[in-house]
Amino acid sequence: MSVNYVTKETLAAMQEELSVLKTTGRAGIAAAIAEAREKGDLKENAEYDAAKEAQGLHEAKIAQLEQAIITARIIDTKDIDTSKVSILSKVKVYNTKTKKSVVYQIVSEKEADLKAGKISSASPIARGLLGKTVGDIADIQIPAGSIQFKIEDISI
């Protein structure tokens, strides 16, 4: 069971989403199943099959979210050591191949959003950057080959 590092705000959002899924989400699916059941023979009822499949996916999402909440560990930004790259730190890196700088924030898988510059701590780039300090060169293996980043700055 892996630990899922999140901010207090993200944990609250996860708990709210779980609450909605368990209440209104389940009620909506139950209504869809009941409506499909009223349409006759269940053996040849595509709507019923679709509603049951949606119920299974919904319950799987609930179980996944419950697991993420159970394994969540809250990290406060004031506890982050900016002398080295760690979870929730923002890292300005210089790509030695493209000669461009980019800023990544290393977050949990649940919070990852590449468009916002947030990468999962489980990603190859984040794993290659974790523990590095300013000035270090990180040689990272990615699916497309190898990439080198020079750590320019670490912040919160």
Q: Domain boundary at 74, 98, 122, which?
A: 74
65 with 83, same domain? no
Residue pair 123/112 in contact by the 8 Å Cβ criterion: yes
Amino acid 132: pLDDT: 94
98 with 31, same domain? no
Tally of domains within the chain: 2
- Is 26's pLDDT higher than 90? yes
Q: Domain boundary at 29, 45, 74, which?
A: 74
The CA-to-CA distance between both ends of the chain, in Å, stands at: 27
Rounded Cα distance, 35 and 148, in Å: 57
The residues facing 106 across adjacent strands are 119
Instruction: Give the mean pLDDT of the chain.
Output: 89
Rounded Cα distance, 118 and 52, in Å: 35
Least confident of 17-21, 23-27, 75-79, 141-145: 75-79
pLDDT, mean of residues 118-122: 90
Claim: this prediction has a pTM higher than 0.75: no
Least confident of 1-15, 51-65, 116-130: 1-15
Most confident of 4-18, 38-52, 74-88: 4-18
Full residue range of the structural domain in which residue 53 is found: 4-74
Amino acid 74: pLDDT: 87
56 with 95, same domain? no
Q: Domain boundary at 74, 93, 128, which?
A: 74
144 token code pair: 């497309």
- Is 1's pLDDT higher than 70? no
